[in-house]
């Protein structure tokens, strides 16, 4: 029964295809549900990949997309990257107006051809061809057809039927033909939830999805690929730039990478060797040695990114880095490893997906050579713990990985084999900002304060940069940091960057006129002088996505406030203490003496992943804190008559 169905399907398919295509280039045929929240609609995206041999595959794509308005232009998807090993055989596009009449045509040579060097890279051999088109009216529909030949099979383009936010998909199809004797690794996610059709069989992958609605962007959302259909596929036996490897498991892949791409690239000059040896001559502790080497690399090299051919994957020789004193993440990590080898400290080349905003892990159950990482760091195992070294920074403290490579699964390559390891998790309590202040309030409401901020963990990374700015920018920074205080005059600013314990200290002296507002005989002032939470999370009438707090933090404030002698306290707030799954908040203001008040505040935000239903409670917690943070106390002039 099933067989007949399929046969029928195959027979009629060409006919349907014809009439369908006519249908798809007009915009009034879009199902109304797909217009909701959409700036563009993918009418059809048909990807077919034919793996012809271990080192050749052909990618063909037909894509029909209707752009509904000017915000949808960026979703057109009419570009294709290429380089020495990727050649574009066919590339053409036709544009149709809303009633389906063809209005423009692009042949292969009509596409712009530019180098694809991004901002952080000095040179790369990648290029991109893209369509430059000015829409004359909306909606319009683009039919884009490509055929691309890959001279490798290490990376197979992925399937992401919901391409992004504000774009819906009518039909998305993804198929791969391969030799069944060369098996696949398959990762697929959220197929059931979105009714994805899976008609794969031996030698063929076939996925199809229909009528996927557009998703609106919402704050604190996880990565789209973690909540919508997504497929990654690999050949177990692959080729890349003349190398042949296999992705049976992480262990053997690591071993292979070590032997093929890393080994024998850690020689350095005699001069450097003797420098390093004398540097650690009196050291015994391996960590001391590692720190000295790390410092040496920071002082002697800098980050320059050049990506050419296999150089996109393989580190340049340590000897080369030794000579020019620069390299990219691969080159600098390998160089650092070379120097650590010299002093007998073991370290491992580690591939990671680095990102400040989203914690992206390598999928443990999907072994791949390419496409899951964008950066290299070093892993230094020590007494059962792992230290992670970022070798592209000239300033980062030893072992500091917050805000970039922390808390994610990475691929550690050792001579014995590869393995997936979790990087350091910076817990909420580690990410401390400890603010202390001594404040004097005068009778006309002015204030004068000495503040010290000690930042740790992720917060260290947010604060430490200020010390290198110009004096003018530092002053401006503190005025913006405390932007809710008007009339700030910043006096002295001194810093201490303790790289050993990874603490950054800022000592600030400032004054502000009329901090407390005067009404009659009273002074109103907020005792939370220096750490006011604002920016209430956006309200969603009907949140659709779950949310997550990727890194927690801990703010601790402790101020001593001197009030003018001729004033006394009229009203203080009661202590507040809130604790829930999202975190903890405590606020207290007490009288220590007639003229001294003590203010204490704690705000802890936990790391966590939550269901969309919890969002309102999360927002309410936040609102509660915002409100309490702004609240004020009243001081009243002492009456002259007793």
Partner 1 sequence: MTKITCLLIFMAFNWSNAQDYRFGKVSEEELQEVSNPTDPEANATILYLSQKTYYDFTQSDGFVQITEVYQRIKIYNKDGFDWATEEIKLSDNGSKRETVSGLNAVTYTLVNGKIEETKLRKDGIFEEHNNKYWKTEKFTMPNIKEGCVIEFEYRVTSPYISIDDMNLQYTIPIKELDISVRIPEYFNFNKYVNPRATYIPKVNESTVSRTEEVRSKSRESNSTGFGNTVKTNFSSDKFNFKEYKTEIKLSNVPALKSENFVSNLNTYRTKLIWEYAFYKSPSGQITDYASNWDEVTKTIYDNSDFGSQLTQTNYFEDDIDALITGVTDDSQKLNLIYNFVKSKVKWNDYLGYTADSGVKKAYKEGVGNVGDINLMLTAMLRYAKINANPMLISTRSNDIPLFPATGAFNYVVAAVEVLNDVIILDATDKFATPNVLPVRAINWQGRIIRKAGSSTWFDLLPKDIVQENVSLLATINGDLSIDGKVRSQLTSFAAKNFRSEYQNFNAEEQLMAVEKDKGEIEVSNYEISDMEALNKPITYNYDYHLESGIEQIGDKLFLTPMLFFAPNENPFKQDKREYPVDFIYSFNDRYQVIMTIPDGYEVESMPSNSVVQFQGDAGEFKYIAKASGKSLQFLISINLNKSFILPGEYDNFKQFYQLMTEKQAEKVVLKKI
Positions that interact with partner 1 (CB under 8 A): 36-37, 39, 69-72, 104, 112-115, 117, 122-123, 132, 134-137, 216, 299-300, 302, 304, 306, 320, 323-326, 394-395, 468, 470-472, 475-476, 479-480, 483-484, 486-488, 514, 517, 519-520, 524, 536, 538-541, 570-571, 623, 627, 630-634
Query: Closest distance between partner 1 and the C-beta of residue 623, in Å?
Result: 6
Decide whether 253 or 512 has the Cβ nearer to partner 1: 512
Exposed/middle/buried for 303, CB within 10 Å: 0-12, 13-18, 19+?
Answer: middle
Q: For 436-448, b where at least 16 C-beta lie within 10 A, e where not — what string?
A: ebebbbbeebbbb
Distance CA 455, CA 497 (A): 10
What is the secondary structure of 20-66 as a DSSP string? HHHHHTSGGGS-GGGTTT-SEEEEEEEEEEEEEETTEEEEEEEEEEE
Query: Closest distance between partner 1 and the C-beta of residue 581, in Å?
Result: 21
Query: Closest distance between partner 1 and the C-beta of residue 460, in Å?
Result: 18
Decide whether 395 or 566 has the Cβ nearer to partner 1: 395
What is the secondary structure of 492-514 as a DSSP string? EEEEEEETTTTEEEEEEEEEETT
Structure tokens at 172: 């998305």
Crossing angle (nearest 10°) for helices 270-279 and 329-342: 60
What's the gap between Cα 419 and its chain centre? 22
Decide whether 310 or 536 has the Cβ nearer to partner 1: 536
Query: Closest distance between partner 1 and the C-beta of residue 109, in Å?
Result: 11
Decide whether 229 or 331 has the Cβ nearer to partner 1: 331
Decide whether 58 or 623 has the Cβ nearer to partner 1: 623
Contact 609, 552 (CB under 8 A): no
Decide whether 136 or 198 has the Cβ nearer to partner 1: 136
Decide whether 37 or 507 has the Cβ nearer to partner 1: 37
Q: Is 462 helix (H, G, I), strand (E, B) or coil?
A: helix
Decide whether 104 or 158 has the Cβ nearer to partner 1: 104
| Residue 253 half-sphere exposure toward CB, CA atoms < 13 A | 24
Distance CA 290, CA 299 (A): 14
Decide whether 32 or 181 has the Cβ nearer to partner 1: 32
Query: Closest distance between partner 1 and the C-beta of residue 483, in Å?
Result: 5
Query: Closest distance between partner 1 and the C-beta of residue 419, in Å?
Result: 34
Structure tokens at 567: 């004033």
CA distances for 575 relative to 165, 304, 596, 599, 617, angstroms: 43, 53, 17, 10, 21
Query: Closest distance between partner 1 and the C-beta of residue 302, in Å?
Result: 5
Distance CA 27, CA 43 (A): 9
Query: Closest distance between partner 1 and the C-beta of residue 471, in Å?
Result: 7
Write out the E strands in 132-203. 140-150, 167-177, 184-189, 197-198
Query: Closest distance between partner 1 and the C-beta of residue 300, in Å?
Result: 6
Decide whether 69 or 358 has the Cβ nearer to partner 1: 69
Structure tokens at 14: 């060409």
Residue 639 DSSP label: P
Query: Closest distance between partner 1 and the C-beta of residue 312, in Å?
Result: 15
Decide whether 184 or 634 has the Cβ nearer to partner 1: 634
Strand pairing of 553-562 and 432-441? parallel
Query: Closest distance between partner 1 and the C-beta of residue 627, in Å?
Result: 6
What is the secondary structure of 593-606 as a DSSP string? SSSEEEEEEEEEE-
């Amino acid at each position: 029964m099933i067989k007949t169905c399929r046969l029928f399907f195959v027979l009629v398919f060409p006919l349907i295809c014809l009439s369908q295509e006519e249908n798809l280039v007009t915009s009034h045929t879009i199902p109304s549900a797909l217009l909701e929240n959409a700036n563009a609609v993918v009418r059809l995206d048909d990807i077919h990949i034919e793996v012809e041999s271990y080192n050749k595959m052909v990618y063909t794509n037909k894509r029909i997309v209707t752009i509904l308005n000017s915000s949808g232009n960026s979703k057109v998807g009419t570009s294709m990257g290429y380089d020495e090993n990727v050649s574009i055989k066919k590339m053409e596009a036709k544009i149709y107006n809303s009633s389906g009449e063809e209005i423009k045509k692009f042949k292969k040579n009509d596409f712009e051809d530019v180098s694809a060097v991004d901002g952080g890279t000095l040179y790369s051999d990648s290029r991109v061809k893209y369509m430059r088109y000015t829409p004359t009216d909306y909606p319009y529909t683009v039919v884009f057809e490509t055929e691309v030949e890959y001279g490798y099979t290490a990376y197979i383009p992925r399937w992401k039927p919901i391409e992004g936010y504000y774009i819906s998909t009518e039909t998305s199809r993804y198929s791969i033909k391969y030799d069944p004797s060369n098996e696949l690794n398959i990762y697929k996610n959220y197929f059931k939830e979105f009714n994805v059709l899976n008609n794969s069989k031996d030698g063929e992958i076939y996925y199809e999805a229909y009528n996927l609605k557009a998703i609106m962007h919402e704050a604190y959302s996880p990565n789209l690929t973690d909540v919508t259909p997504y497929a990654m596929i690999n050949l177990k036996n692959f080729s890349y730039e003349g190398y042949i490897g296999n992705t049976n498991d992480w262990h053997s892949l690591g071993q292979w990478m070590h032997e093929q791409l890393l080994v024998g690239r850690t020689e350095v000059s005699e001069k450097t060797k003797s420098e390093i040896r004398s540097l650690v001559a009196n050291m015994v502790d391996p960590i001391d040695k590692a720190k000295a080497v790390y410092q040496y690399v920071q002082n002697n090299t800098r980050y320059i990114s050049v990506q050419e051919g296999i150089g996109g994957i393989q580190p340049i020789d340590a000897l080369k880095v030794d000579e020019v004193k620069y390299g990219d993440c691969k080159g600098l990590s390998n160089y650092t490893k070379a120097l650590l080898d010299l002093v007998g400290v073991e370290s491992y080349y580690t591939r990671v997906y680095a990102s400040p905003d989203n914690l992206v892990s390598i999928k443990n159950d999907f072994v791949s050579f390419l496409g899951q990482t964008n950066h290299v760091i070093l892993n230094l195992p020590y007494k059962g713990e792992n230290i992670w070294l970022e070798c592209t920074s000239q300033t980062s403290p030893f072992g500091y990985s917050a805000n970039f490579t922390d808390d994610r699964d990475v691929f550690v390559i050792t001579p014995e084999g590869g393995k997936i390891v979790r990087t350091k998790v910076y817990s909420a309590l580690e990410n401390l900002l400890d603010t202390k202040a001594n404040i004097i309030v005068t009778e006309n409401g002015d204030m004068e304060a000495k503040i010290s901020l000690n930042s740790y963990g992720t917060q260290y990374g947010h604060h430490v940069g200020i010390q290198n700015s110009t004096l003018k920018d530092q002053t401006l920074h503190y005025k913006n940091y405390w932007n809710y205080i008007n009339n700030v005059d910043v006096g002295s600013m001194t810093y201490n960057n303790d790289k050993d314990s990874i603490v950054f200290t800022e000592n600030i002296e400032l004054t502000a006129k009329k901090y407390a507002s005067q009404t009659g005989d009273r002074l109103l002032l907020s005792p939370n002088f220096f750490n006011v939470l604002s920016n209430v999370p956006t309200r969603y009438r009907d949140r659709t996505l779950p949310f997550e707090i990727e890194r927690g933090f801990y703010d601790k404030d402790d101020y001593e406030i001197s009030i003018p002698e001729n004033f006394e306290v009229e009203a203080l707030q009661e202590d507040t203490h809130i604790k829930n799954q999202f975190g903890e908040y405590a606020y207290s203001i007490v009288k220590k003496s007639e003229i001294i008040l003590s203010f204490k505040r704690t705000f802890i935000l936990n790391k966590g992943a939550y269901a969309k239903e919890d969002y309102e409670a999360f927002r309410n917690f936040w609102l509660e804190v915002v409100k309490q943070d702004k609240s004020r106390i009243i001081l009243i002039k002492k009456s002259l008559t007793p």
